[in-house]
Structure 1
Amino acid sequence: MATIRCRSCGRIYDYNKQDMCPKCGAYNRPPHRERVDPDGTVHFVEGQSIPPRRGKVCYEEKTCYEDQTRRGSREKAAHTGSGSARAQEGENTKNSANHTVNHVSGMNTQSRGRAVVLIVAAVSVLISLIGSCQTHLSYTSEPEPDWSVEPATEITDPTDTYRFGCAFELMGQTGTVTEVGTSGQRIMITVEGLEPDTYYPPYLVAYDSDGYFVDLASPDEITDWDSGTTYTYDRDDMTGLEDAAQWTLEFNVLEEQDGSMVFTGDEVVVDLTGYIQ
């Protein structure tokens, strides 16, 4: 068996059965011996045994011309040595190319797959680095806009709240809620001190115990008296009253602009909590 040790991984295998390493797939050139003929020709002996050279024994007295033949062979080899060297160089180049091809073809599928993955990863990293450099070069900072800073203004509540029976100011008039009555689903509220048709009818608004809005209603009936005006509201026009815990009567404050009355956003609120059941 012609055994050989792999130079890449150290595996020992039979070169006559496998010309490449069965473990890593590397090609390993087998060791060789040279034999030179008397005419100067070089032979590479692969896996053959060379019988030992024995000296000649002359049993008869005669002239031996072996030394002269050897000198002539050496002189001829000297003249042809340059051509043999070039031939040997070409042979070595060919053997190196065959070694490379056999090494690549001998790579197993897993090794080639790993090589492909490494190449793809390297190309991806290179592309990302080039893209980041281009982004950095193309970026130009722009000056920030000159944001104008205005001084803070105090926020005031435009709502004035009064309790039942207390006088309140509404557009130059003084009014008072003097009576609150209920009849079934109807709620009657009387306001005195305000001239009819000089203000917008108030809304009846319901809130829950946390002060969140529930619903509101506008008056279904308006009755004017000499002393004031009674507004009648219907609970059926409102929803969610099972959560109602607070009640208010809310007047919108209007002002004249270009011959018409316009809502200013201010309100006058009368707290009726405890008077509506």
Structure 2
Amino acid sequence: MLRENLNDLVAFVTVAREGSFTKAAAQMGVSTSALSHAMRGLEERLGLRLLARSTRSVSPTEAGEKLLLTVAPRLEEIEEQLSAIGDLRGKPTGTIRINASRHAVSQFLWPRLKPLLQNYPEIHIEISAENRFTDIVAERFDMGVRLTESLPKDMIAVPLSGPLRMVAVASPAYLAEHPAPTHPSDLARHNCINIRLPTYGGFYAWEFGKGDEEMAVRVSGQLAFNDSQHALQACLDGYGIAFTSLDMVTPYLERGELVQILDDWCPPFDGYSLYYPNRRQHSTAFSLVLDALRLKD
């Protein structure tokens, strides 16, 4: 095989998966024009149209889809074997791509990954921090993080955290002007700070439970965010009640900057798990990252 064919096949797989010349070029570190030129050259040598181009996206043709299904797994095998050969030097190498929520990254992944990165400088980690559900296989992540209750059925799961709690909190200044609610239904009379879920597009319903009673409350207020950290800051500034993870607000509760409300309506639930596809062989880098992140007894 000509060397340019191999390089262009890597480029083709990247473009087909990203659905965009711009995104693929950024990922590969080349210009969009160079990537487009390479694709035209590959198509001319094969005598086939591999990519259907439109003003908004790029998608494989029927021939391109067949080539993608054939070539992509083999390129991944080559990459895995190169990583395995690198391990023979006694210095694990490779890039591990992880998809996780912003909360999981800040509270669990990053604190545990810092020592690993210091001890293994040739391991590279790429983290995609987002709050939507992601198909980690389709988007070529090595592992993902999700709440245990919503894990895909066909994945291997490893505990990342212990139980978590969502809690309702408000600043002393807000509560000085608004009597604290004693039942979740009382939230209807309060200024609540909403969180918009990127996966479903709607606002998150605050979930409460006490004994056998469970309820999801749709709240309203002046403010809404798509990120818990910004909602927390608005809460600290006295703009309403927030509903967030206990570990995020513990320091503020201890300093008296926030007050927890409806405590008896906020039971714990299963926390995060790492998950990944059932592959026959993992690189040493993958195993080291997995061991660093898993919840220790």
TM band (smaller chain): under 0.3
Where is the helix percentage greater, Structure 1 or Structure 2? 2
Give the TM-score of the pair, scaled to structure 1: 0.17
Where is the strand percentage greater, Structure 1 or Structure 2? 1
Higher RCO (Cα < 8 Å, 6 or more apart)? 2
